[in-house]
Amino acid sequence: MSSATPRWWQLAAYGLLGLPLAMAALPVYVQVASYYHLQYDTGLAMLGWVMFAARLLDTLQDPLLGHLIDRLQQVQRALTAGAVLLAAGFAGLWQAPVALLAPLLWLSLMLVVTYSAHSLLNIAYLAWGSRLSAQASHGSAPLLSATAWREGWGLLGLIIGSTIPATILSQPRAQIAGQMGSYSLAFAVLLGLTLLALLKLAPAWPPTIAPAPHWRSVLQQMRANHAFRHLLLPYLLNSCAVALPATLALFYISDQLQAAPLAGLFLGSYFIAAAAGLPVWTRLAQRYGALACWRGGMLLAIASFAGAALLGAGDVWLYGLICLGAGAALGADLAMPNVLLAQSIPPAHAPAAYYGVLTLLGKLALALSGLALPLLALLGYQPGQTAHIALPLVYAALPCLLKLLALLTLQRASPVLTPPLRSPA
């Protein structure tokens, strides 16, 4: 591979795959529970336990998938296999064959397929991006640019994934399954096109990277990497703070604000604000470093989102402002942890296993957020019940507390995370 700095269009082509990955992730994490509750009359508590179990099972495989990618050096094949399985699993989620299987059993199977495929695809994709700066003569600049393109396209995918499925779910019940089938088909086509762009137009995977050693050696390498270890706890806490509102957003908008028809608008504005803020965070990171920007994003998120715990029916304008502020903070959450991880991986270490651990923590946070549904049921909240104090506390107050804890642990970790971005070459 040439050492020339990748051109902007190559980095844009690399980032394109982030769009369908995000399009698939948001409906699965945010809207599946509401879909099965509305479409198949499944109980809230059982839905929460099914989602928790599927997500927890998924978390266990990520480091293994990362190690296999490093060990076998089959990045292109991993991407292709993951894309095929993801397209099939995502379509299956919205088309439960109720005459053959119980909806909860079908949901469990499709969640496992979809989560596993998404993991395989995403880990290989992140590992590919982490090596861009190793191929260039301009140090870490390609890494920041690739991250910005990836997260920017991803935010566009989140906007699509937040608005279109939310709009579909607001339609009459008889129309929902067919419209989600059309959405799944469009998703599959887009996934294939963006994967083709990655394989043919993006900077190539470096062919000189040696296969990873035995998994015991990989674990020893990661344990000895102080910067990597100090990144894990704040990342987990922060991921939990982001996952909780994502899981409960539709319930909060519908019952606390009594503004269900505006759900797509609220979610869309949140991700549009994140997309607008991402270039700002990237520029600030080039000047002040990724760590400082991540801290700033956490502070902005706490300041913006805390007020959601105090809102009630009809407070749509105030909630819209909260969505804009919290969305602007999201850009830092999306980009900066991956940049910090990339700069912490030594050049001799294979990267996919590291990203496997980081995605494991992200999915563990999602699994734990699924427990919010049975927790709310235990506290007496049921969907359709308005003005119940448990919903705003779990939706808003608890995530702000987790953000504060993440900020404090990140402050303690700063001595080993403060070095400026460097090339791993």
Count of CA atoms in the C-beta half-sphere (13 A) of 174: 0
pLDDT confidence of residue 422 = 43
State pTM to two decimals: 0.76
pLDDT confidence of residue 325 = 94
**If you compute the radius of gyration of the chain from its CA atoms, what whole number of angstroms results?**
21
Tens of pLDDT, residues 124-183 = 888 887 766 554 444 456 677 788 888 888 888 877 887 788 788 878 888 888 888 899
3-state DSSP of the chain = CCCCCCCHHHHHHHHCCHHHHHHHHHHHHHHHHHHHHHHHCCCHHHHHHHHHHHHHHHHHHHHHHHHHHHHHCCHHHHHHHHHHHHHHHHHHHCCCCCCCCCHHHHHHHHHHHHHHHHHHHHHHHHHHHHCCHHHCCCCCHHHHHHHHHHHHHHHHHHHHHHHHHHHHHCCCHHHHHHHHHHHHHHHHHHHHHHHHHHHHHCCCCCCCCCCCCCHHHHHHHHHHCHHHHHHHHHHHHHHHHHHHHHHHHHHHHHHHCCCHHHHHHHHHHHHHHHHHHHHHHHHHHHHHCHHHHHHHHHHHHHHHHHHHHHCCCCCHHHHHHHHHHHHHHHHHHHHHHHHHHHHHCCCCCCCHHHHHHHHHHHHHHHHHHHCHHHHHHHCCCCCCCCCCCHHHHHHHHHHHHHHHHHHHHHHHHHHHHCCCCCCCC
Residues 6+ apart with CB under 8 A from 386: 255, 256, 258, 313
Low-confidence ranges of the chain (pLDDT < 50): 1-2, 135-139, 420-425
pLDDT confidence of residue 136 = 43
Residues 6+ apart with CB under 8 A from 45: 373, 374, 377
Output the six-digit token pair for 251: 């319930």
pLDDT confidence of residue 65 = 86
Long-range contacts made by residues 372-378, C-beta under 8 angstroms, separation at least 24?
Answer: 372/48, 372/244, 372/247, 372/248, 373/33, 373/44, 373/45, 373/47, 373/48, 373/51, 373/247, 374/44, 374/45, 374/48, 374/49, 376/44, 376/248, 376/251, 377/44, 377/45, 377/48
pLDDT confidence of residue 423 = 39
Number of residues written out for the chain: 425
Token pair 């396209």: residue: 153
Tens of pLDDT, residues 66-84 = 877 877 667 788 889 999 9
**Among 248, 242, 237, residue whose Cα is nearest residue 327:** 242
pLDDT confidence of residue 299 = 95
- For residue 138, the one-letter residue type is H
Question: 46 and 178 in contact (C-beta within 8 Å)?
Answer: no
**Domain layout of the chain by residue ranges:** 9-204+212-417
* CATH entry, 9-204+212-417, from 1.10.357.10, 3.40.190.10, 1.20.1250.20, 1.10.3720.10: 1.20.1250.20
